[in-house]
Chain A
Amino acid sequence: MTLSHTSSLFRTAALMRRNGVTGVFLALVISVAGSAAAQPLDISDRHILDEWQEHLEKIDRPPFPISASTVDPQTGDTWLATWGSGLVRYSAGRFDVFDQFNSGVAGDLVFDVAVANGRIVAATIGGISAFAPTTESWSVYFPRRQTDTRNVWVHLSVREGTLYATSAIGEVQRYEAENDQWVDSGTVDPPRRGSGLLATKHIRRPRSARSALAIYGPRNRTIQLPGSPSQRAGDPARCDLAAVEIAVSMFGKTQKDRRSGIELVKVSSGYARYGWTLPEDDVVLFALNHRVGAVVGHLSPRLQPTLAEVVGRTGIGFVSTASLDVADRQALFTNPYAFRCYGAEKWGHRMLFDDLLPPDTPGRIAIVRSGAAFGDLHVGWWRDYAQRRGVEIVWEGVCRVESADIKALGKARPDVIVTWSDAESTVAIVDKVRGIGLKCPIVVSPACVRDDIGSLIDAPLGSLVSLDPLWDARAALLPSVEAEFQRAYTMQRFVATPSEHYTLDSFHGADHALYAIEKAGGDQSMVVQVLSKMRDSAYGEKHYEQEHSPPVVSIARFEDGLWVQFEIRAE
């Protein structure tokens, strides 16, 4: 509980400030409770960590990190919360894994574990799970669906037999064993923006992770360079593909980054697994399975905030996709490991600005100029828009900042820092900024990302944000690709979501369509055949209802600030 103790004190102060006497009481409970929760693995428990890694190696499994542990005083067994391998019981040298495939635990990413009321309670990405060893039964509280972005319970505390759970955004719930229910117990201060402190534990990047980049995507998808058939077919989902293109452009030709020597692992298999497997779980498993240092995300945009958050906490670099209409963007920027790419056209700048500093909220930015004309041009745009928005520019200076300037920058405590330079200068700037303890997001030049993504991924630089470095190249292709798509397929356009099914699974639908189109090679009649075949396949089975209706899939794209869905219907 390296961080929880500190955070408990912080929360105590915050509650006292906010809630008066009741708050003081609650704050004290939570503060003390923090010290009675899952115990950290101290030096004497080092052998468990080592044994766990040896065990994984022996059974050829990825090096799942341990995020928390607790000892059941009744049995002497140690319960481990792991990242990627669910809840694990360590009993006299034996590891019993309870993951979402062989047990009732709600998720494989486990943030915290506690023993309370004779049960083993785990805060997982899928909700809070409680295992009763005597009845061998599992309960799930606050089950989290794939589309939930905020409700992540990350911390458990036990005080005088009472169990408390805290969410990533500071909600506190108290468990009443007699009624088997949770009672809202107020909130503690949510993590400060940009702090990256979204949970009470900090996961170290696995030691055996190599400096490699993997592409995480749907089953049977092969990502190719811009202009290739699959790229054309995939255009409606171009936002998803943007980050992938960055990676491919970096590594595509040589399979190896020139400067960093980082290797690209192209992987086409993905998350075709059980229905309720959460993508966060799967991405972590994926990254750990391939023992890579970074992952290019290729998932529904609504999942990106939590995805970036949880994947980022593994210490694995995560390149997210372009800006889309997601419910909560803030989490992405508080992830110290997440990159995010925007289109480089004008609205890309504006969208990025609004994401970082939402409208109608006060904000403070700092600008670090490079001195180069092109850099100043972009930075100038940020300056202008900040003035229009009424956002205060608390510091502005050139790249080669002296120590006195840096101190001034530190005192200014900006919410966002914008810089625009080449990779070498950017790394130097970011080093200095992070060196004085500023953890806010830093907007960097897309050229910087394009030229030296490897250095950025490997450096502990905190949250970096960039515009899409390949936007210009891809933008030129757009009209012809869209025209081709329109010509080849009957598309029925409608706005918003036609049904719950499509809301949840629109991207699965897109995958269906893309797969079908790819297989059909442009022949529309073939598309129908492929879709028909898919209905009978395992992939189609996931959408059972399609068996009762004509083969229909939907795909979605972001257009003029709205989600637009297209339906491809078999004639």
Chain B
Amino acid sequence: MTAFGVTFAVSLAVLIGPPSDKECKDHFPRYVGRDVCMKCHQTGATTASDAPHQATPCKTEDMPAHDRAYSALEKSEARHIAALSGIAGPTTESLICLSCHATASDEGRRWTAESFDITLGVQCENCHGAGSFHIKAITSGLASLSLGSVSNIRRGDRNDCKRCHIDRPSHERVLKKGFRLSPDDSAYKTPVNLTVSPDGATLFVVCERSNSVVVIDTASHKKTGEVRVGARPHDAACSPDGSVLYVSNRMDASVSIVSIHSLKVIETIAVGHEPHAVLVDPQSNGLIVLNTANNTVSLVPLAGSDRPRTLTAGQGPWSATIDSERNRTVITNVRPNLGRFRDPPKSEITILDNASGHVATRVLVPGANMLQGVSQIPGTDVSVFTLVRSKNLIPTSRLAQGWVITNGLGVLWPGGRVDQVLLDAPARYFPDPMDLAVSPDGKRAIVVSGGANEAAIVDVDALLELLQNSSDRARRDILPNHLGMSDRFVLRRVRVGRNPRAVCYSPNGEFAYIANALDDTISVLETTNYDIVASIDIGGSTSVTHLRRGERIFHSASKTFGGQFSCRSCHPDGHINGLTFDIEADGIGLHPVDNRTLRGILDTPPFKWEGTNPTLHRQCGPRLAVFFTRLDPLAPDELDALVDYMCTIERPPNRFRKPDGLTNAQRRGKAIFERTTLNNGLSMQPQRRCVTCHTGAYMTTLTKSAVSSNMWFDAHIGVDLEDMFGTDDYGELGNYYFVDVGMEDSPFDIPHLRNIADSPPYLHNGAANTLEEIWTRFNMTNRHGATADLTRQQLNDLIAYLKSL
């Protein structure tokens, strides 16, 4: 294509719309690299004769730091910065690091020429844009067309420097204040799940921190081996013959197949993202893997030529149990299904028909979220699961006696009826019920409380009897919220290790094993009186580092008011529980705010949706004291530890990002994201451009902005019930009303956009269930980016790009 052709095509495309997938390759310029630029624009050339093609010699001063930017990522300090930034994996592969330490990282290598070398750091095209069209125009003798927006060569603008040259708390902590990870930080095991071999002789302990599975001999209670698997393993399952162990790797989106005989990984298979539970279905000879990030279930055949299937689960499928007699699988989901604004949460139990490989039933559990551990009661078709009842529509100022969060059990009966009971008692709560197991005889169940470091021993018959003898109304309205019922079915509470996360019985039911995540031990309980008979050390570091201490505080309810919940209660895996909460002090239900992820948040101040907390210390200190800890705030050293741990919560790899960079649709979306003109060619005001507010490593300018997203219930707006009946005229949730009546637009924190696809719902109050709704329902004023002129395809492309960030 000639330069004129290129120019014409680009100009035309601007006017008539986005290029098709086929045209995409030629539509966008590629990065050619510094050396190609410098062939003509050699530094130091003083006359035109020094530079071929009458090119303007580059007058920018030497910036050796830019040249070294990429290699800086290989320095030892980079590892510590990355850890504080929640970056998993090598820094040289992190989009966040590369966005300031390299060029063309966002587009990826698919959009670079062969001459481009990413290791040369911050290159000319980082500020001037990709140069391939410019080169084509020059070599075609059409130099006059080589500059300007058409050829994508921008004039240098020192304002661009601010995208990267800003204060970053992570860098400051490491480079100026000397923060370093302790060697012990990587010496922990953090057992999060366990499973027993079919013969009961071996216990396999899945260790999240050490990326390994520890093997325990159940007779001697000794560690006999360890096998390294993928990143952040979460669950394991044995094959029926006991020869193979399947381990889900949360950060790798994979399952490791381990030979138990040789204790080696013999194969790794790809599944969905953030896989949690993994099960072996002996009847279909297949794996069932719950992909928590994708909200799907993978059915992976272990033999034959069938291809894996992917089924839709609820939101955040977490744990599962197989009912062999009925050939079905019962799956819990950790987040409630997305619903309407201010509707109480409803979470889903997904039931698979293993024979057909399809979802058979979906049962909704009203008022509940964080459905985690699940187990079948042997000999019955009744399942029991753990749950949290978050009263997220009630102001958190009423934080007493279970008015905000209670913890309990759900019972799933044949036919789909669900009962809920609480494990909490007044002044003795059972925060974070994370797992349960039912004894082989079906008489007892053990439930572990990650926040209270306890295990509750449940009399299963008493529990079922209580429910069966209660009226329908009691089962619907009273028992789910009754704090005085747990002593009817809880036989005792046993103190175990720190942050128990998983429990299982031995096949003969004589012992139970509990994985204590934060002291690297396994508690062994005999099952007559349920006393602890042993505590198995699985080999983790015995010292308590600064970060480990913070991790314990994060997962403990001991510091919150009444010990009702922990930080983890709303942030499983450091992420979200999918709810909006009314955390403000007004106490009357105004200003609900969407829960935000904690993954990699250190460099994204200010905090809180209103952007009123400049640091995490402020957010987790005084603010936490007001709302959650009340009269017993964290001590300064505890606060330091908590904040630093929170910073290290890892952000998983972006699941929409391909290894070679942006897809065609994502590349088109990036052009929309960065556009400066509307479809009709008119210039956009800077404040209406996406890239004005969402830029830099985290796609935020780290400030606040008013984009007319006010709605009913926002604190400073108030609610006019009479107006609410006229919502047709005022847009969704009155989004337009405030502009119509001339009320002042209130600014909110500009959120970062990294892994934004994993954090629905959206907007400050969680009113938008999908990214699309941000613009289709809540941008009536066109102030949250000028998007009203976008075509359907353009909006789709924009969304595709946002998901890739």
Contacts and interface: CB of A to CB of B under 8 A. Distances in A.
Contacts of A76: 311, 356-359
Contacts of B685: 547
B509 interface: no
Contact of B736 (A89, A100, A102, A538): A538
Contact of B803 (A93, A136, A143, A275): A136
A361 interface: no
A275 B789 contact: yes
Interface string B679-720: 010111100100000000000000000000000000000000
Contacts of B678: 544-545
Interface stretch (A12-20, A126-134, A461-469): A126-134
A369 B645 CA distance: 90
A104 B310 contact: no
B788 A542 contact: yes
B577 to A, nearest CB: 20
A211 interface: no
A276 interface: yes
Between A96, A127, A181, A538, the greatest number of chain B beta carbons within 10 A of the residue's beta carbon is seen for: A538
A519 interface: no
Contacts of B337: 94
A392 to B, nearest CB: 46
Given A76-B358, A538-B736, A538-B780, A104 B792 contact: yes
Nearest to A504: B680
Contact of B362 (A92, A101, A104): A92
Contacts of B800: 137
Nearest to B688: A544
Contacts of A538: 731, 736, 739-740, 780-782
A59 B341 CA distance: 12
Contacts of B775: 274
Nearest to A278: B792
B427 interface: no
Interface stretch (B139-147, B631-639, B766-774): B766-774
A51 interface: no
A276 B311 CA distance: 32
Contact of B796 (A133, A139, A548): A139
A120 to B, nearest CB: 12
Nearest to A275: B788
Contacts of B683: 548
A403 interface: no
A119 interface: no
A143 B793 contact: yes
Interface string A524-568: 000000000000011001101101100000000000000000000
Interface in A108-157: 126-127, 133-140, 143, 145
B792 A106 contact: yes
A269 B790 contact: no
Given A75-B311, A542-B782, A276 B739 contact: no
A501 interface: yes
A396 interface: no
A347 B109 CA distance: 66
Contacts of B348: 94
Interface in B747-798: 757, 769-770, 772-773, 775-777, 780-783, 786-793, 795-796
A135 B804 CA distance: 11
Given A92-B362, A96-B312, A219-B729, A181 B22 contact: yes
A126 B781 contact: no
Nearest to A181: B22
B309 interface: yes
A50 interface: no
Interface string A29-50: 0000000000000000000000
Given A91-B362, A544-B678, A545-B678, A140 B793 contact: yes
Chain B interface helix/strand/loop/mixed? mixed
A274 B788 contact: yes
A189 interface: no
A545 B682 contact: yes
A571 interface: no
A548 B682 contact: yes
Contact of A102 (B350, B769, B781): B769
Given A75-B310, A92-B362, A544-B682, A101 B782 contact: no
Given A92-B360, A276-B791, A137 B770 contact: no
B728 A104 contact: no
Interface string A496-540: 000011000000000000000000000000000000000001100
Nearest to B357: A76
B312 A75 contact: yes
Contact of B781 (A106, A181, A541): A541
B544 to A, nearest CB: 41
B21 interface: yes
Contact of A104 (B20, B21, B772, B783): B772
Contacts of B776: 100-102, 274
B361 interface: yes
A254 interface: no
Interface string B199-211: 0000000000000
Contacts of B360: 92
Given A89-B312, A133-B310, A274-B776, A544 B770 contact: no
B799 interface: yes
Nearest to B343: A59
B656 A135 contact: yes
Contacts of A545: 678, 680, 682
A556 to B, nearest CB: 19
A138 B736 CA distance: 29
B336 to A, nearest CB: 13
Contacts of B791: 143, 145, 276
Interface in A57-81: 59, 74-77
B356 A91 contact: no
Contact of B795 (A104, A137, A180, A269): A104
B772 A101 contact: yes
Contacts of A94: 337, 348, 362
B796 A138 contact: yes
Contacts of A77: 312, 358-359
Contacts of B783: 541
Contact of B358 (A59, A75, A145, A180): A75
B665 interface: yes
Contacts of B790: 275-276
Contacts of B656: 135-136
B311 A501 contact: no
B804 to A, nearest CB: 10
B786 A137 contact: no
A104 B800 CA distance: 10
A91 B296 CA distance: 13
B792 A126 contact: yes
A488 B483 CA distance: 74
Contacts of A100: 776, 792
Interface string A215-237: 00001100000000000000000
Given A92-B361, A93-B361, A181-B22, A104 B773 contact: no
Contacts of A544: 678, 682, 684, 688, 782, 786, 788-789
11 contacts: A59-B340, A76-B359, A96-B312, A101-B773, A102-B772, A269-B728, A272-B780, A274-B775, A276-B791, A544-B786, A545-B682
Given A126-B792, A544-B684, 19 more contacts: A75-B311, A75-B312, A92-B351, A92-B358, A94-B362, A101-B772, A102-B770, A103-B772, A104-B772, A127-B792, A133-B312, A143-B793, A219-B729, A274-B777, A537-B739, A541-B781, A541-B788, A542-B788, A544-B678
* Closest 6 A/B residue pairs (Cβ): A76-B358, A275-B788, A104-B796, A541-B782, A92-B359, A101-B776
Interface of A: 59, 74-77, 89, 91-94, 96, 100-104, 106, 126-127, 133-140, 143, 145, 179-181, 219-220, 269, 272, 274-276, 500-501, 537-538, 541-542, 544-545, 547-548
